[in-house]
Chains A and B, each alone.
Chain A
């Protein structure tokens, strides 16, 4: 690579590593947000799913644990994506399977954005705005991660 290409390559690899770190941090937000939603709306959740009528507590607890488990898996996906991106950005990893995860997460986040614009209780307006900003940040980070990874590959191919 000539110097300009090397400089650009360094910039993009730094972006990928930084975005990977951001994805890991944002996963913590995802977990916290989900836990708060589940805890705050537990009764409504039981009612919606018809579990309210089941008297055995263990069923409700099991459902709760399963929900937490699902979101724990989501967090692990974020963390796995983030770690892979960091390793790729630092040149310690060559394959880019994490981009598939990144695209999936990006799609999920984007499709969830319209929910912020429907009518809601003004009492939760502040939290909704905060959540919107956090998700907007997630979208930006994922786009940056995907774009920078692609540009890295292009630069490598140019000089190969």
Chain B
């Protein structure tokens, strides 16, 4: 997902969950910051590099693709952007090496999602924001894995169809891809940019949903495609429906984190809170636009009656750099870093415990899991 959902939609969901304007801002800022907290940024503010929640394109270009490098990549992307749906999934006639990657495929409503929300309970708002980012991405990024893998993340470029409805009937038109990152995607012509095909299994081009371009991040689009892991079975990705579910699930999760409900369960959504705004949500989500920030922002400001400032990556950096060493944990970014380490440690540990070494090893210290 993009800034429109991670920042503005998360703010809206936080408001509906009962958080105040200021609390909602902290949550949504943290949710969006997950997409920006790279080693480069952490290095700049002299924060722990292992708290990185993303990798910049330049960092990935320089990344090693030996086992150490792959573990580093997998730790970050699986923990924050492609949370595995089932670490114990089964598939016949496949090697262990294949299954290690297959089991990292992101899906919503997995056990790791429950754990993600659970470990944020009683913690900072920043940790809540991180959990909401992870939750939202399980919907948008499902069917792709947070590890570089041709056999999992590749797609059939000849079989990509946009599905629309005309006169009550389903109509399909082909989606074409080009390799021109500087040219914007063109929804009217169904012309999008994706990553280059590279036959090497572990190349960065085969990380996540690169082969599908930004399609998973556009809320308006429904499309059918053939993923490499799918054995020629078509996957229909209904982004409008998935985004609505993600939103309703975020409201439910944040009500749990606020203490309004006692449990967080899979496949449960707060439709009651969302229902009065169903039409409004539908109009935002289904509008054919590459970025829905303005619409989400307008909706959020109507909900709270307050202005939502634009996202600024620099907002809390000075606070962190100026703080004393023993006080850094009390700053905004310090709390974010704590939440990021906890999330990354939890996911890495879970992957390791499942017998999969793709994210490296982790150990449990006392009752907290660290990387």
Contact = CB atoms under 8 A, between A and B. Distances in A.
A11 B232 contact: yes
B158 A7 contact: no
Interface string A79-110: 00000000000100000000000000000000
B167 to A, nearest CB: 25
A10 interface: yes
Interface string A1-38: 00100111011001000000000000000000000000
Contacts of A7: 231-233
Interface string B141-168: 0000000000000001011000000000
Interface in B216-257: 226, 231-234
Nearest to B233: A7
A3 B230 CA distance: 13
B158 A10 contact: no
Contacts of A8: 232
Interface string B198-232: 00000000000000000000000000001000011
Contacts of B231: 7, 11
Select the residue from A3, A6, A10, A11 with max chain B CB neighbours within 10 A: A10
Contacts of A90: 158
Contacts of A6: 234
B319 to A, nearest CB: 55
Contacts of B158: 90
A123 B232 CA distance: 47
Select the residue from B158, B231, B232, B234 with max chain A CB neighbours within 10 A: B232
Select the residue from A8, A11, A14 with max chain B CB neighbours within 10 A: A14
Nearest to B231: A7
Nearest to A8: B232
A7 to B, nearest CB: 5
Contacts of B159: 10
Nearest to B232: A10
Contacts of B234: 6
Interface of A: 3, 6-8, 10-11, 14, 90
Given A3-B233, A7-B233, 12 more contacts: A6-B234, A7-B231, A7-B232, A8-B232, A10-B159, A10-B226, A10-B232, A11-B231, A11-B232, A14-B156, A14-B232, A90-B158
14 contacts: A3-B233, A6-B234, A7-B231, A7-B232, A7-B233, A8-B232, A10-B159, A10-B226, A10-B232, A11-B231, A11-B232, A14-B156, A14-B232, A90-B158
